[in-house]
């Protein structure tokens, strides 16, 4: 699977991932809030409003659940459409559901005459709610998009610290006479690392590629730090085909070395653990902790940026946490396991 086949262009608009629990939760909450608002707006008193809300719920909730299920099923198809067509398709689904709901509700209320105006009202309401929600998701993506542009900048400015680059170049210089072959390999590693850092950061990569990058990076650090750096890789149950945003793991390993190994005069052990648990991918990176005073600045920026990008790619389904335990600093990431290109953050065919 090549990168280009799963390219997601974030600068354009795209539909939300209807299979994401965060998206589903937002839809459920938003529609219910709107129904609540409509009920208290339409009735002068609380008891009447509550009564209306209960009546409305009998119609709204089945439609809402049907919408969520239908969009969930249609998500892969919708993701293949261009944004505007996708919106039209979603609107069509919702209108069809509203019409079906109206036809189904009419015989139940036998006394109410089935009128053309009733159907028109239902369709209009469904259209308004759908358009409002699509607009909301579009804004949401826009709000998180700057994180991507910033990520690239930060990758160069903050994550690959000048300190690391210059020390690595210095190490290569020291190798050239002693061990020219290793010097060559080291420059190749450095080139690979920078190629990824300068890539656009909007494509999902396979875990195997991200791990290869980690290993190149680790080789570079090993050359500089020698015996002082020990990395334990626990990758036996790592799902190599899992997809994740690029440059999520490398900055974490760099942090671990920078904050956990370099400040120590003795050997420091970094543990990199990647495993699959059911439909989740778990990553844990831990390193020695030297206390708040010895912590060098810049750690929070990297974590914040990774958090924002995980939000953009996985919404509420990703988790990132850090903590200090027994003089060790740990960062844990949990993301949904996906081996296929997912419709988030939206693909353009």
Q: How far apart are CA 116 and CA 72, in angstroms?
A: 31
264 binds other proteins (CB under 8 A): yes
Q: Using CB under 8 A, which of the segments 36-44, 189-197, 261-269, 297-305 binds other proteins?
A: 261-269
Closest to 101 in 3D by CA, of 75, 70, 76: 70
Contacting other proteins (CB under 8 A), which of 62, 76, 118, 263?
A: 263
Q: Is 18 helix (H, G, I), strand (E, B) or coil?
A: coil
| Minimum CB distance to other proteins, residue 12 (Å) | 35
Q: b/e string for 83-117 if b means 16 or more Cβ within 10 A?
A: eeebbebbeebbbebbeebbeebeeeeeeeeeeee
| Minimum CB distance to other proteins, residue 175 (Å) | 7
- Residues between 216 and 255 that touch other proteins (CB under 8 A): 223-226, 228
Q: How far apart are CA 340 and CA 242, in angstroms?
A: 8
146 binds other proteins (CB under 8 A): no
| Minimum CB distance to other proteins, residue 218 (Å) | 16
Give the count of alpha carbons within 13 A of 254, CB side only.
24
325 binds other proteins (CB under 8 A): no
Q: b/e string for 122-131 if b means 16 or more Cβ within 10 A?
A: bbeebeebbe
Q: Is-contact 228 266, C-beta < 8 A?
A: yes
Residue number with CB closer to other proteins (186 or 305): 186
String marking each residue 157-176 x if it binds other proteins according to CB under 8 A: -----xx--xx-xxx-xxx-
109 binds other proteins (CB under 8 A): no
Residue 274 makes CB contacts below 8 A (sequence gap 6+) with: 207, 211, 234, 235, 238, 281, 282, 283, 284
- Please tell me the count of residues contacting other proteins according to CB under 8 A: 21
Residue the block writes with tokens 């930060």: 154
Residue number with CB closer to other proteins (98 or 223): 223
String marking each residue 181-210 x if it binds other proteins according to CB under 8 A: ------------------------------
Residue the block writes with tokens 């608002």: 37
308 binds other proteins (CB under 8 A): no
Residues that bind other proteins (CB under 8 A): 162-163, 166-167, 169-171, 173-175, 177-178, 223-226, 228, 262-265
């Amino acid at each position: 699977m090549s990168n280009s086949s799963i390219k997601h262009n974030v600068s354009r608009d795209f539909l939300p991932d209807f299979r994401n629990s965060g998206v589903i939760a937002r839809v459920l909450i938003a529609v219910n809030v709107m129904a609540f608002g409509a009920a208290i707006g339409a009735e002068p008193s609380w008891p009447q409003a509550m009564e209306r809300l209960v009546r409305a719920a009998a119609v709204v909730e089945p439609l809402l659940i049907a919408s969520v299920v239908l969009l969930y099923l249609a998500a892969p198809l919708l993701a293949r459409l261009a944004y505007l067509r996708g919106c039209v398709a979603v609107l069509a689904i919702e209108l069809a559901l509203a019409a079906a709901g109206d036809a189904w509700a009419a015989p139940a209320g036998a006394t109410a005459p089935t009128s053309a105006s009733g159907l028109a009202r239902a369709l209009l309401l469904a259209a308004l709610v759908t358009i409002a929600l699509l607009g909301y998701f579009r804004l949401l993506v826009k709000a998180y998009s700057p994180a991507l542009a910033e990520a690239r900048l930060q990758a160069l400015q903050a994550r690959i610290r000048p300190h690391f680059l210059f020390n690595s170049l210095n190490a290569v210089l020291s190798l050239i006479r002693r061990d020219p072959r290793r010097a060559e390999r080291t420059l190749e590693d450095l080139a690979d690392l920078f190629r990824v850092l300068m890539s656009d950061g909007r494509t999902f990569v396979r875990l195997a590629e991200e791990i290869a990058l980690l290993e190149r990076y680790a080789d570079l650090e090993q050359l500089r730090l020698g015996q002082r750096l020990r990395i334990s890789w626990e990758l036996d149950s790592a799902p190599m085909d899992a997809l994740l945003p690029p440059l999520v793991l490398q900055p974490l390993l760099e942090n671990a070395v920078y904050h956990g190994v370099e400040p120590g005069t003795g050997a420091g052990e970094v543990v990199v653990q990647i495993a699959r648990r059911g439909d989740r991918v778990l990553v844990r990176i831990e390193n020695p902790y030297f206390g708040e005073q010895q912590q060098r600045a810049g750690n929070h920026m990297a974590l914040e940026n990774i958090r924002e990008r995980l939000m953009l790619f996985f919404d509420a389904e990703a988790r990132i946490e850090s903590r200090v335990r027994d003089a060790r600093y740990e960062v844990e990431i949990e993301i949904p396991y996906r081996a296929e290109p997912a419709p988030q953050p939206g693909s353009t065919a």
